[in-house]
Amino acid sequence: MNRLKLIACLAATGLALNPTALIAQEEAPDPRWTWDLGDLYESDSDWNAALQEALAGVEEIRGLKGTLSEGPQALLAAFETSNRWMLTGSRVFTYASLGADENLGDPRGQERRQQAQRMFSEYQQASAWLQPELMALGRETLERYMDELPALQTYRFNIEDALRYEPHTLGDEAESVIAAAGLMQASPFNVYGLLSNSEIPWQTLTLSTGEEALINSQGYSRHRTSRVREDRKAVFDAFWTTWGEYKGTAGQTLAAHLTSQLFTTRVRRYDDTLTRNLFQDNLPRSVYDALVDVTNENLPSLHRYLELKARVLGLDDMGYEDIYVSMVEAPQDYPIGDTIELVNKAVLPLGETYADTLADAAGKRWMHVHPNPGKRSGAYMSGFVYDEHPFILLNHLDDYNSVSTYAHEWGHALHQVLANQAQPQHLAGFSIFTTETAAIANELLTQTYMLSNASSDEERLYYLGYALEQIRSTFFRQTMFSEFEGEIYAAMERGEPLSGDRITQIYGEILRRYHGADEGVMRIDELYHNEWLFVPHFYFNFYVFQYATSIAGAAYFTEQILNGGQVERDNYLRFLQAGGSRHPYDLFLDAGLDMASPAPYEALIRRMDMLLDDFEATLNRVEEAKG
């Protein structure tokens, strides 16, 4: 089950979708804007009792080994026991993980999370027999089981999905060993996290304002957007010079991760690691290939955006250090109350039921909104607990990016709510490939609403610039990352050595091509080829390409919804309600979109070109008005 695989991965490795960092804010959080973990457990002692129950459930699952051949009732019992365990196990993990993220400096919270991670690791090992036994029964026997016991029909998709793995499934003992190796395979990322977050001695700069700035990951992310170009350049040079001193160590760490993944690829008899990672969602390779091919064919649209940005910023030599500064300053602040109201209005094209569900949920304690001391950075939605509402972590800073993030995470949350309402537990867990589309669709609806209600051309320029930057960062940048991943995995699979210098060379070549360095679109200093060192997603195994496919899917759906009527809206809502009842590629096909064709990516490029046209026309009006 996709839900199970994702939770188990997170539990076993401690991976996060956002880098971990401590947030500094003096004021204690207002309880109104924090989540209520009492919805999961009233106290830590209740949680501990549930943990012991889950550990006992692991032994119950282990005890079912060898029973599937006894008949259809035994198979149903195995599925139902796994479902019951998941209700408890996911609740135990979610309480521990959310509690730990409230304050990363609280050792007790980190200990609880470690206990929950070990619990899932034990579950993986205890249930490693299930897939091989299903394989051993064979399709004919399983079909007979489902015919004899209609209650098994609801598990047909899960059974057929399991049978797909037959060529890649080993015996009981080997499967148990591979499951146990999961913690060791997490070591390279853990080393990388320790290096990047704790052990590198970062430089301190004196900025033009007189501020003393520590240029670590947080300082870099903050000051790279400075409107003072000399400060941006100094921040870039300091950050990438420091990272460059650890290129050898980081290169060996990433190579160790690639080697561990290649081990799994070969042991499980896949052609290559990309194929293995696409196999989980049954995605055809043509999805990845179409994305990369169409993106490269349309790099001129990215170059046009970069040249427009240079014009707005008044730069004759656009450099990579200029890429993060906003073309137009934000027109206003967006406190959380205003953000909630804006997004509630923006999603009205999805229908009153969707909008009312969002408005009602936003009034409850489902989210942890503001930064506070020790809190995890970034944002995410946690919807692992089938019989409970989702939880959302935000770090709302009252800027428009926080508005967009709010819309994004609630897109995930409403996807989970709708899937849980429409599907049984074992079919409700969806793929990243589909839920990122749900999240980005909410962002695009919010952009449309803001553009429709902009009070001036200056405000309109800001929202247009934000929308263009999202396409650059979510589509072009993530595809660039994906192409880089494909190159380094292919090099490893060809038996080529990968040092920090060689990885930097590969990344630099792709970085320059995407940004038109050789055509004079953007100057990219060789020092900035070190950027790969800063990207934790390269330890997530072909994860990031799904952001690019998802923004294309979201652009398609929002265009259909805004230009159509109830039919188009209902089509999209059925896509959300389907959860994980089919493979994600098939869900898109059902909704009328072939993600292996050029169509969705070309549609997004058309959207970008229209935004560029609108920006240029609006900019011309503003400049003419100023004389």
| Core vs surface per residue 61-87: b (16+ CB within 10 A) or e | beebbeebeeebeebbebbebbbebbb
Q: Convert the pLDDT of each residue in 371-405 to its tens digit.
A: 988 898 889 999 999 999 999 999 999 999 999 99
The mean pLDDT value for 310-319 works out to 96
Q: CA-to-CA distance for 622 and 613, rounded, in angstroms?
A: 14
Q: Indicate if the pLDDT at residue 4 is higher than 50.
A: no
Which among 418, 419, 475 has a CA at the least distance from the CA of 443?
475
Q: How far apart are CA 561 and CA 92, in angstroms?
A: 38
Site of tokens 């995995």:
489
Query: What's the whole-number mean pLDDT along residues 251-277?
Result: 95
pLDDT band at residue 21, thresholds of 50, 70 and 90?
Answer: very low
Give pLDDT, residue 490.
97
> What is the band of 27 on the pLDDT scale with cuts at 50, 70, 90?
low
Quick one: DSSP state of residue 30?
P
Instruction: Identify the pLDDT of residue 497.
Output: 93
How many CA atoms lie less than 13 Å away from 197 in the CB half-sphere? 16
| pLDDT at position 19 over 50 | no
User: How many angstroms separate the CA atoms of 21 and 344, rounded?
Assistant: 30
Is pLDDT of 18 > 70? no
The DSSP element (H or E) to which 409 belongs, if any, is helix 400-422
Report the DSSP beta bridge partners of residue 99. none
**Are residues 469 and 326 in contact, defined by beta-carbon separation less than 8 angstroms?**
yes
- Tens digit of each residue's pLDDT (9 = 90 or more) over 428-448: 999 999 999 999 999 999 999
Task: Please report the beta strands in 130-224, taking only residues with DSSP state E, as ranges in sequence order.
Answer: 204-206, 212-214
Residue with tokens 């870099």: 220
Q: What is the mean pLDDT of residues 151-173?
A: 91
Q: Which candidate, 120, 88, 90, places its Cα nearest to that of 12?
A: 120
Which of 18-32, 415-429, 511-525 shows the lowest mean pLDDT across its residues? 18-32
Q: What pLDDT, on the 0 to 100 scale, is given for residue 187?
A: 84
- Chain position carrying tokens 């405000």: 459
pLDDT at position 75 is: 97
Q: Is the confidence at residue 24, as pLDDT, over 50?
A: no
Angle at 300 between CA 298 and CA 304, to 5 degrees: 130
Model confidence at 28, pLDDT cuts 50, 70, 90, reads low
Within 13 Å of residue 72, how many CA atoms lie on the same side as its CB?
16
**What pLDDT score does 417 carry?**
98
The Cα–Cα gap between 163 and 150 comes to 19
Q: How confident is the model at residue 451 (pLDDT cuts 50, 70, 90)?
A: very high
C-alpha pair distances (Å), 336 with each of 100, 345, 394, 399, 534: 24, 14, 11, 10, 30
Mean pLDDT of 172-195: 81
Confidence (pLDDT) at 12: 30
Q: Percent of the chain having pLDDT more than 90?
A: 85
Strand partners, 523: 319
**Mean pLDDT lowest among 192-206, 358-372, 449-463, 514-528:** 192-206
Over pLDDT 70: what percentage of the chain? 96
- The rounded distance, in Å, linking the Cα atoms of 114 and 108 is 10
Fold for domain 250-351+399-627? Answer: Neurolysin; domain 3 (1.10.1370)
> Edge to edge, what strands does the sheet with 380-382 contain?
367-368, 391-393, 380-382
Over residues 53-74, mean pLDDT: 96
d(CA 304, CA 516): 10
Q: Residue 2: is its pLDDT beyond 70?
A: no
User: What are residue 469's DSSP bridge partners?
Assistant: none
Confidence category of residue 128, pLDDT binned at 50, 70, 90: confident
> Distance between CA 343 and CA 366 in Å, rounded?
16
Taking the C-alpha atoms of 439, 442, 444 and 445 in order, what is their torsion angle to the nearest 10 degrees?
170
Torsion of the alpha carbons at 65, 70, 75 and 80, rounded to the nearest 10: -70
Domain 35-187 identical in fold to domain 250-351+399-627: no
Of 533, 536, 546, 434, the closest CA to residue 479 belongs to: 546
Tens-place pLDDT, residues 90-111: 999 999 999 999 998 899 999 9
Q: For residue 587, give Cα distances in angstroms to 4, 210, 279, 324.
A: 19, 54, 16, 35
Question: Residue 321 carries which DSSP code?
Answer: G
Element (H, E) at 563: helix 545-563
Q: Residue 6 pLDDT > 50, yes or no?
A: no
Cα-Cα-Cα-Cα torsion 315, 508, 437, 382, nearest 10 degrees, comes to -110
Q: Give me 135's structure tokens.
A: 């394989």
Reply yes or no on whether the pLDDT at 194 is more than 90: no
Q: Per-domain residue ranges for the chain?
A: 35-187, 250-351+399-627
If you average pLDDT over every residue of the chain, what do you get? Answer: 92
- CA distance linking residue 608 with residue 592, whole number of Å: 22
CA angle 412, 414, 417 (to 5 degrees): 115
Is 35-187 CATH 1.20.210.10? no
Residue 330 pLDDT grade (very low, low, confident, very high; cuts 50, 70, 90): confident
> Which is higher by pLDDT, 11 or 426?
426
Which residues does residue 381 pair with via DSSP β-bridges, in sequence order?
Answer: 392
Residue recorded with tokens 């700035």: 213
Interval 463-489 mean pLDDT: 97
Give CA–CA dist 497/503, Å, rounded: 10
> Of 461, 443, 474, 466, whose CA–CA distance to 614 is shortest?
461
